Amino acid sequence: MSNLEAYRARAAAWLESMVPAFGKAARKGLSEADDLALARRYQAAKFESGYAGINWPVEYGGQGLGHLEKVTFDSEEMKHGFPNAYFGISLGMPVPILMQFGEDKAFVKERVLKALRGEEIWCQLFSEPAGGSDLAGLRTKAEPDGNGWKINGQKVWTSWAQYSDYGVIVVRTDPNVPKHKGLTYFWVDMKAPGVTVRPIRLAGGDSHVNEVFFDDVKVDDDQRMSPVGGGFAVAMATLMIERYVATDSGGFGPHLDLFVELAKAILVNGKPAIADGRIRQQIARNYAMRNGLNSITARAMAMMQAGMVPGPEGSLNKLVSVRSRQKLSELAIDLRGSDGFAFDDHASQKEDWTSSWINAPTGRIAGGADEMLLNTIAEKILGLPQDHRPDKGVPFNQIPA
């Protein structure tokens, strides 16, 4: 057994031992407040057992292991439905970027340890009403104020802002230069006066994203994490941190086995749906698609293990898997016919086709809309030209609104 496989076996056994306390059954029926409290205890247990900050430096409380161990652990963890979502953004991007760009090492270390133990949560304040896909088009501004800065504006789609203690934020500090060049990156205290968080309800009923309003929120200059005007580069670095994360070729929806089970249980024209050519075709095509994505991931892991840099094809995963999941979920609902009208808004989107269907559009937009992923593939991988962009090189305050 390779070292990595031994690591996987140890992690799997540890995760299995956590199921009674933190698994799906333990979470069933909990209010979100109770679930969050359970999640904090789970995160603390991970920290105590050496499964938090797996690939982070030991000096910051991490384990000092590699990316492979991290992805290996995450893939195993994903199988169980533990309450880890509250920390996904926090530990995925803002805290690593704080380790990389934070100036005050003692402060950084304290924050990192609290985040690793689940005591503090960080959010990422990037998207705005007028700038989602067009991140550099953001309008929230920071103006000099005494020795520091004063922030005014609005962010949106901020995951878990309602539970966050801190956040990283990109703001406009100079509207007189082209849009990418007038941005600066800060960390902010989410409990500071002038910060207002308002949850947004999504189509499926859940409210983990928020609007965040900034009214004359004061920040010190030592909260600045980029040169003035150099914020876009740090924002890009933030988004690139976890280029190869644990993926799910099922698009974070149900496993294909669940579709097969359904097709065996349901009759079409008096025969099991599993015998129907149209259903068999969908099973076959979805399998082939998922298998391809799994192989891309496996190859990337093998390349990293061999000290090589994985290819860009890993960026296909979310694009391909989520839109396929959307259509397969529709078909699953269709298959159930008059038995398919029921809906439980607490059902898991990994186990329930209706929940998977209703939440799929969010998956096709969050973390980069399909259109932006396709642009990245076309422009960054294939070298095709960008669309015409009239705002190119134009000072931000002269872009027609």
Partner 1 sequence: MSILYDEGQQAIATESRRVLEARVSKDELLPLLEMTGRYHEGFWNTAKEQGWTALALPEQYGGLALGLVELGLIAHQAGRTLSGAPFLTSGFGCAKAIELYGSDEQKARWLPGLASGEIVGAVAFASGSDPLPAYPAIRFADGRISGRAAGVTGGLVADIAVVYAMGALGPLLVVAELSDVERSAIGSFDNSRCYAHLGFTDIPAQPLAIDGAAREAALHILALQAVITAHEQTGGAEAMMEIARDYALTRRAFGQVIGAFQSVKHRIAELYGLVELARANCIHAASREGAPDFIVAAASARLSATEAYDTAARDGIQIHGGIGVTWEAGLHLHMRRARSLAIEQGNGLFWEDILVDCLTGEAA
Residues lying near partner 1 in the complex (CB under 8 A): 127, 130-134, 137, 156-157, 200-205, 266-270, 273, 276, 278, 326, 330, 333-344, 354, 357-358, 361-362, 364-366, 369-371, 374-375, 387-392, 394, 399-401
CB of 59 to partner 1, least distance (A): 38
Is 214 strand, coil or helix?
Answer: strand
CB of 217 to partner 1, least distance (A): 23
CB of 129 to partner 1, least distance (A): 8
**Which CB, 1 or 401, lies closer to partner 1?**
401
Task: Tally Cβ neighbours within 10 Å of residue 1.
Answer: 8
**Which CB, 32 or 370, lies closer to partner 1?**
370
Give the closest residue to 107 by CA, choosing from 222, 227, 186, 235: 222
**Which CB, 2 or 269, lies closer to partner 1?**
269
The answer to whether the CB of 225 falls within 8 A of the CB of 186 is yes
Q: Which uninterrupted H or E stretch holds 199?
A: strand 195-200
CB of 399 to partner 1, least distance (A): 5
Measured between alpha carbons, how far is 240 from 207 in angstroms, rounded to an integer?
A: 26
**Which CB, 21 or 374, lies closer to partner 1?**
374
Is 248 strand, coil or helix?
Answer: coil
Measured between alpha carbons, how far is 355 from 380 in angstroms, rounded to an integer?
A: 34
Map tokens 């953004």 to a residue: 89
Q: What's the one-letter identity of residue 72?
A: T
**Which CB, 93 or 358, lies closer to partner 1?**
358
CB of 198 to partner 1, least distance (A): 12
**Which CB, 164 or 354, lies closer to partner 1?**
354
Which backbone phi and psi does 186 adopt, to 5 degrees?
Answer: -130, 165
Measured between alpha carbons, how far is 82 from 66 in angstroms, rounded to an integer?
A: 23
Is 235 strand, coil or helix?
Answer: helix
CB of 64 to partner 1, least distance (A): 37
